Amino acid sequence: MTDTNQRPTNEGHSSAPEHLPTQYTPAEVEETLYERWVAAGYFEAHDKSSKPPFTVVIPPPNVTGSLHLGHAFEHTLIDALTRRKRMQGYEALWQPGMDHAGIATQNVVERELAREGKSRHDLGRDAFVERVWQWKEESGGRILGQMRRLGDGVDWSRQRFTMDEGLSRAVRTMFKRLYEDGLIYRAERIINWCPRCLTAISDIEVEYQDDDGELVSIRYGDGDAAIVVATTRAETMLGDTAVAVHPDDERYRHLVGTEIELPLTGRRIPVVADPHVDPEFGTGAVKVTPAHDPNDFEIGRRHDLPSLAVLDERGVITAHGPFQGLDRFEARSAIVAALRADGRIVAEKRPYVHAVGHCSRCKTTIEPRQSLQWWVKVGPLAKAAGDAVRDGRVTIHPKEMEPRYFGWMDNMHDWCISRQLWWGHRIPIWYGPNGEVVCPGPDEEPPTGPGWRQDEDVLDTWFSSGLWPFSTLGWPDRTASLEKFYPNSVLVTGYDILFFWVARMMMFGLYAMDGVPPFPVVALHGLVRDQFGKKMSKSGGNAVDPLDWMNRYGSDAVRFTLARGANPGVDVPIGEDWVQASRNFCNKIWNATRFALMNGATVQGPLPAPDELTAADRWILSRLNATVAEADAYYEDYQFAKVSDALFHFAWDEVFDWYVELSKTTLAQGGAAATATRRVLGEVLEVMLRLLHPVVPFVTEALWTALTGRESVVVAEWPRDSGFRDAAAEAEIAAVQQLVTEVRRFRAEQGLKPGQRVPARLTLDGTVLIPHQEAIRQLLRLDPEGEDFRVTATLPVAGAVVALDLSGAIDVEAERKRLTKDLRAAEKERDQTSAKLSNEAFLAKAPDQVVGRIRERLATAEQEVTRLTNQLAALPRS
RNA sequence: GGGCGCAUAGCUCAGCGGUAGAGCGCUGCCCUUACAAGGCAGAUGUCGGCGGUUCGAAUCCGUCUGUGCCCA
C-alpha cells in the first residue's frame, strides 16, 4: 500500500506503517534510541575535526544531586542549541561533568558516618577522604543516568569531575599564579561562619531572611556616665571592648575618651568617637564587639581596640563566668534575664523583625567570626570581568540582566576561598619551621622535613568551578582540545547563579586565558515554578520529580513544555496539564506521520517543479520555508519559547489541520497530482521533523528514520530556507480556509451533525477556488446537487456562493443572530477605519503604508457590510 | 533603605507605537476511514488606576497602587 522506502526502525514497532500503533509510547523507544546515539558516537567531539567548533559546558551539577526540573529545563535548552549546531555542521561539544560540592558532599558522608556512630575525626583525614571517594563511586552522580533519560547529547567520553587529577592540576596552577601575582593572600577578618558546617563560607553563600528577633536596650555605665545601647545580639556583650558614638554627637561628647563599666563583667571599656556611627539610629551609641561583628571589627581596627572572642566554633559561650557553655541562643535569653535582674534593661522590643544571615547549605544562622583565612583580591579581576561586558566582548541575554551583573562586579568584596573542610582541593601552601610560606606548583615537590606542614583548609568549590570552561579542555596544558574548543560558544545558565558562577568564570577565564573571555554570550534563563507561578520547594510540597513526568508522558513532552515556556530571563511555570498537552502534541506528530506513511508519502527523488504541484502543495512549501527562517531567527536570539511556538503552530494549525486534510482529496484522485503530493507530504514532514528534533529528539528520531529509511536525524542536516515563497498559493488557500470555515460555522449553528452530508451547489466562477471544488466538498461533506435539489440557504463568501439544500426549514433565528453579529463587527470596523481616513492629521502624518492598509480594511469592511445586509434581507421573516 | 522587574481572557504567559494573541481551562456538537492523547464550532478582556506625549498608546514618559526578586 505504500512506497517501500521504510526499513525496520523502532523497537516494538513493525516497519509497516499500518502496524504503527495509533498512540505513541515513549517508554518503548526512548532508552534504546539514546543508547544507539551514544554507541554511534554522534555526541563525541573531535579535536582534529575541520568543522567549525561549537562548545558549551554543562553547568556542572553537584555530585550529590539528582535531576530536578531546573536541570531538566537548562539541559533542554543546551541540548536543543547543541543538536541544532551539530546538524548545521559544527563540531559540537557539549562538555559534561560534575562538581565535588565540598560542603554538601562532606555533609552527606558525615551523616552516613554518624549512623555508624562515628565522626570524621574518628577516621582521620586520609581515611575520610577515601571514604568520600568511595561514596562518590557508589552513590554519587545519580544525575548522570537521569541526563541520559532526558536525552542530553553530551560527549560522555570527555566527562570530568572537579576533583579529578587534571582539574586538580588546573586548580593548583591557578592558585599559584594568583598567589604569585599577589591576588591571593591570607588575612585575619570577620568571615561568615556556619557553626553547623564548621567552616567559613563566602558572602554569596549567605542567605538573608527576615527573622523575628528582639531589640534590647541596655544601660552601660552609671549616673552621668551612663550610655544606652541597643542590640539584637545581647550575648555578644560579653565580648564588647568599647562603646562608639558619632564625633559630632553633643549628647555624648563629654564621655568620649572616658571609660564606663560593662555590665555583668565589671570590665571597664572606653567610649570612642567614630564617624561611621549613625547618630539617628536608636540612641546614637553602639556597643562594639570586634570579634563578632564585621562593622565592629572595622571600628576596632580604627581605634586599636582589643578583640575578645566569646563564642567558639559551634557558637557556644567560652567566656568564663555563669554563661560559659551555653549555646548562643540560650545565652541570649540568660544574659538578658541577668541584665534585667540587674536593672540594666531600658527597653525591649519583641518581636523585632530584621534580616538575619543563614547558611545556604544548612540554613543555620551565620555567626560572624574573626579568623585567619585565604582570600582572592577581586578588584582587578572583577574590573576586567565587568569591562568585558561593558565593551561588548561578552553579551548578556537578555540585556536587562546587565545592570545586575555590573552592580555585583563593581561592588564585589574580596572572596574568602578557604573552607574548614576535608573534602576539596587542599590549599597548596606549605608552612616551614621558621615561618616560611611556600606555594609549590602542581609539578613541583612540596617541601618535606621536620616542621613543614600543609595548610589544613580546602578551597571553595566555586574556585574549581570557575575554571570549568577551560580546565575541562586540559588547561593548563595547551591541548588540542583547548585550541579547538576554547572559548566556549555560549554559556546557558540561570540568572540566579550569575554571581556565583558566571562571575567566577569570567574572572578566571580572562585571567588564565590571556584576556580571552570564556564565552561571547551568556544566555540566562529563569527559574522553574509551579503552574501557579510559585517557587517549587520540597517544604512547599509543590516540587515535582521530572523523572515521574518523563516516565508517564515521555521525555519529549517534558522537554517541549519547558522549551515552550523559555522566555529569556523569565521564570517558567510548569504544570502537569501542560506536559500532557505536549505529550498530545507528540502523539499528533506521530499520527500525522503514520497517515503519511500509510498513504505513500516519500522523500525519494527531487521535489516536483512548482507547476506540477497543487496550490496546497505550493502553499505548504512556502509556509515550510518561512517557518525554517522563523525558527532560525529565534534560535539565533535564544528565543526558545518562540521557536517552539512557531513550530507548534506550523505543525498543528497548518500541516495537520489543513495540508493533510487537503492532501486527502488529491491522493484520492490519484494520477500525477497524487504522486507529486506524496512527495510534498514526505518533504514537509521530513523537514518538520528535523526542525523539531532539537527540542523533541526521541519522537522525531523514531519517525524520521521510519519516513526516510536513513540512519539518524541526529546527524541529518539542519533545514535551510530554500527561499521558495508563493504568495498566490497562500492567498488561494486562505480563500479556501475562509470559505470552509464560514460554511462550517453555518452548519454548526444550524445544528447539523459534523458527519451529515448535505446536497449543495457551488458557484465558484471568477474565484481562485475552482480547482478546490472537490476538496471543499469533502471538507464540508457536501454532496452533488441531485434531481430534486432545492435551495434552502445561500451563503456568499470569498466571492463564491454556496447554496445548500437542508431539506427542510432552516433555523432562521440562529442564522439571523449569526449574521447580525458579523454585521455589527463589520460596521464597527467600517466606522473605525473611515473615521481614521477622514482625520486630516492622520492622512498627513501617518506613513503611506499604514494609510494604505487602513484603506484596504475599509474596503473589505464595506463589502462585508453589503454582503451581510443583503443576506439578512434575504432571510424569510419569522 | 538601594537596585531591577512585573501587573494583558478563569489560570500561566506572549505581544511593546498602527485590526488584542497563545496554551490550558470553559460551552455545544461529533468515535467523519492518521489521531477521542482527536475533530469542528463557540464564548470570554474599560491590556492595574490617573495624568501626559502622539494623527494614533496595551505598547513611550510621569505618577500612584499592588506584587516579585536581588543587594544592603
A840-870 confidence digits (pLDDT tens):
999 999 998 899 999 999 998 999 899 899 8
CA of A780 to C1' of B30 (A): 14
Kindly state the cell numbers that stand for A797. Answer: 463568501
**A381 and A253 in a common domain:** no
Would you give the DSSP letter of residue A262? P
Query: Which is nearest to A33 in space by CA: A716, A558, A553, A701?
Result: A701
Which domain-ending residue is among A725, A746, A764? A725
Chain B bases near protein Cβ (<7 Å): 3-5, 11-15, 18-19, 22-25, 28-32, 34-43, 54-56, 69-72
pLDDT attached to residue A280: 76
Distance A442 CA to B44 C1' (A): 69
Indicate whether A510 belongs to any domain. yes
Work out the pLDDT band at A17, boundaries 50, 70, 90: low
Do residues A214 and A345 both lie within one domain? yes
Residues 238-297 of A with CB under 7 A from strand B: none
Bridge partners for A285 per DSSP: A245
| Tens digit of each residue's pLDDT (9 = 90 or more) over A757-786 | 999 999 999 899 999 999 999 999 999 988
Residue A738: predicted pLDDT: 92
Where is the domain boundary, A679, A696, A725?
A725
Q: How far is the CA of A567 from the C1' of B56 (A)?
A: 30
Query: Domain check: are A355 and A265 in the same one?
Result: yes
Whether A433 is in a domain gets the answer yes
Give phi and psi for A426, each to the nearest 5.
-70, 140
Same domain for A662 and A779, yes or no, is no
How high is the pLDDT of residue A138?
86
Residue A12: pLDDT band by 50, 70, 90 thresholds? Answer: very low
pLDDT of A511 > 70? The answer is yes
Look at residues A546, A563, A589 and tell me which one is the last residue of a structural domain: A546
pLDDT category at A14 given cuts 50, 70, 90 is very low
CATH number at residue A711: 1.10.730.10
Is residue A314 included in any domain, yes or no?
yes
DSSP state of A311: B
Say whether both A711 and A846 belong to one domain.
no
Does A323 map to a domain?
yes
Cell representation of residue A746: 453555518
| A606 and A674 housed in the same domain | yes
Identify whether residues A745 and A835 lie together within a single domain: yes
**Among A27-36, A202-211, A797-806, which range has the highest average pLDDT?**
A27-36
pLDDT digits (tens, 9 = 90+) for A196-213: 888 888 877 888 877 778
Mean pLDDT, all residues of chain A: 89
Same domain? A360 vs A428: no
Residues A243 and A364 in one domain: yes
What number of residues does chain A have? 878
- Residue A10 is predicted with a pLDDT of 40
For the segment 782-811 of chain A, residues whose CB is within 7 A of strand B = none
Whether residue A8 is predicted with pLDDT greater than 60 in this model: the reply is no
* Total structural domains within chain A: 5
pLDDT band at A19 (very low <50, low <70, confident <90, very high): low
**Strand B proximal residues, A:70-89, Cβ < 7 Å:** none
Q: Are residues A535 and A621 in the same domain?
A: no
A483 found inside a domain: yes
Do residues A338 and A204 both lie within one domain?
Answer: yes
Residue A11 has pLDDT above 70, yes or no: no
DSSP A527-557: -EE-TTSPBP-TTTT----HHHHHHHH-HHH
Tell me if A630 is assigned to some domain: yes
Cβ A855 to strand B below 7 Å = no
At A140-177, the pLDDT tens digits run 888 999 999 999 999 999 999 999 999 999 999 999 99
| Per-residue confidence (pLDDT) for residue A283, from 0 to 100 | 82
- Within a domain: residue A19? no
pLDDT tens digit string along A305-319? 888 888 888 889 887
- Please, which pLDDT band fits residue A4 given cuts at 50, 70 and 90? very low
- DSSP letters of A734-778? HHHHHHHHHHHHHHHHTT--TT--EEEEEE-TTSTTGGGHHHHHH
Asked if the structure places residue A554 within a domain, the reply is no
CATH number (domain holding residue A269): 3.90.740.10
Strand B proximal to A354 Cβ, under 7 A = no
Residue A7 predicted with pLDDT over 90: no
> What SS3 state is found at A230?
strand
Choose between A18 and A323: higher pLDDT. Answer: A323
Over 50: is that where the pLDDT of A655 sits? yes
Q: Cell for A870?
A: 443583503
Determine the distance between A821 (CA) and B6 (C1') in angstroms: 37
Q: Which residues have a Cβ under 8 Å from the Cβ of A335 and sit 6 or more positions away?
A: A234, A235, A237, A238, A264, A323
Which pLDDT does position A18 carry in this prediction?
A: 56
**Confidence band, pLDDT 50/70/90 cuts, at residue A878:** low
Q: What is the pLDDT of residues A420-476, one digit of tens each?
A: 989 999 999 999 999 899 999 999 999 988 989 999 999 999 999 999 999 999 999
Query: Whose CA is closest to A661, among A644, A645, A679, A677?
Result: A677
What digits encode the pLDDT tens for the residues A79-122?
A: 999 999 999 999 999 999 999 988 889 888 988 888 998 888 88
User: Which range of residues forms the domain containing residue A408?
Assistant: 172-189+377-464
Residues A485 and A437 in one domain: no
A753 touches strand B (CB under 7 A): yes
